[in-house]
Chains A and B, each alone.
Chain A
Amino acid sequence: MNPYKVLNIDYRANNREILEAVALAMREKKFPIREVAIAQKELLDPISRVVHNFLNFINVKPLKEKVVLSRLEEPTIPQLNRLSVFDGNEDS
């Protein structure tokens, strides 16, 4: 179970936002009350929150930052004329 999905919150949500999300989830009843309660418990516990952060979110920022983006030379627009080289190859 992904508690962030159950409570529909971002991984940066603080405890107050978590509690607000819990109240909303209880009212909306999209998920069973038991699941909402578990989600609340999991996210308010610092260790299990770290675990869920690891499990449910990815961080590709360091990977993107490592990419070396080279500039492309301005391409010379070629004159594109239809070639007759294949005209001998009748299609049917």
Chain B
Amino acid sequence: MNEINQEDTHRTIERVARESYGRLVAYLSSRTRDVAGAEDALGNALVAALAHWPQDGVPQNPEAWLLTAARRSLIDVIRHQQVVLASEPTLQFLKESSTEAALSTEFPDERLKLLFVCAHPAIDPAMHTPLMLQTVLGLDAARIAQSFLIAPKTMGQRLFRAKTKIRSGGIPFEIPQERELPERLDAVLEAIYAAFGIGWDDMAGADQRRRDLAEEAIWLARVLLQLMPGEAEVQGLLALMLHCQARRPTRRGADGRYVPLSEQDPKQWSLPLIEEAERHLAEASKYGRPGRFQLEAAIQSVHAERGRSGRTDWAAIALFYEQLNRISPTIGRRTGYAAALAEANGAEDGLAVLDAIDQDAVSAYQPYWAVRAHLLQRLGKGPEAQHAYDRAIGLAEDPAVREFLLQKRG
């Protein structure tokens, strides 16, 4: 086989792996309860595909081929173990699936169950997002560790512990009952949004070939929406992320300098993404069940409106923040409220909101100090503003943001 075809085959394997990874891990682990075992089996199946497909050609149903190979790998593992360590559900699955003729053609999509398992309350909330990225999207621990600012070895250990807990802690692979669904769904949405936030912060994006975390998060939300089409908050989350994504490239000038939202040129924003976001937001509002993500998407929608009207309705933004803080106040939302109120009513009102926030809670929260510095400067309180700028500069991680604030500090 010539090189071009080989490359083609490799690309096909990559595509199949991307599209099918989560579906296959979800299907296998929902039957065996062993996420790590399912990942290993699928990993072996992909290695087998790399060995066979370039010679034999890509099979007609690549997903079914991978599933059969993964199943074979599970059997091999059990055979080679001196003592049988495989879980009872794994043995049960292998027994059943050997007679299941349907296996070779179709299998159910269990990704929704897997998403709920990853964000289960019995699992450390800090591990919800890493688990999702690994099991549903197939990102490796080292890549996840980079994004989460955790040593790769530590991330690997934490993922391992979480999977052990899934296997032996009796965490069910099921869609939660209606009674607990809102809370459980919220954990799933939070985890997806956390992935987006991390991708969003990682401005430099050191390696372009690596799939961007923000885009992965959007992809996850699309999968979720496909699986739960009637959920307003799922659409709210997707709308929120699409709005942010539409402005993403404009956060930097041609020279790499940081450009704050208020100075961005709306003509540079992605209109198709904004339109898609608006469609989702409009559809979500039809259900009459407002929620945290719809409100955050609404704030972004007001910002996007500047592209059409040329102005920002800060009073509307302040109102949305007020509603958000009524649902559950966080330092971030209170800071956002202060900034919007300052634009709508004047810097003094914004500053009063900031003053009311507990000082211990903001000692390492950068946006608070950036907003505070900006408002103090507008009020002509030079020395106080300089002090706040120093705090904001000292807490900034992004060199471009640091440079921007240093220049404003003067």
A binds B: no
- B residues neighboring A (CB under 8 Å): none
- A residues neighboring B (CB under 8 Å): none
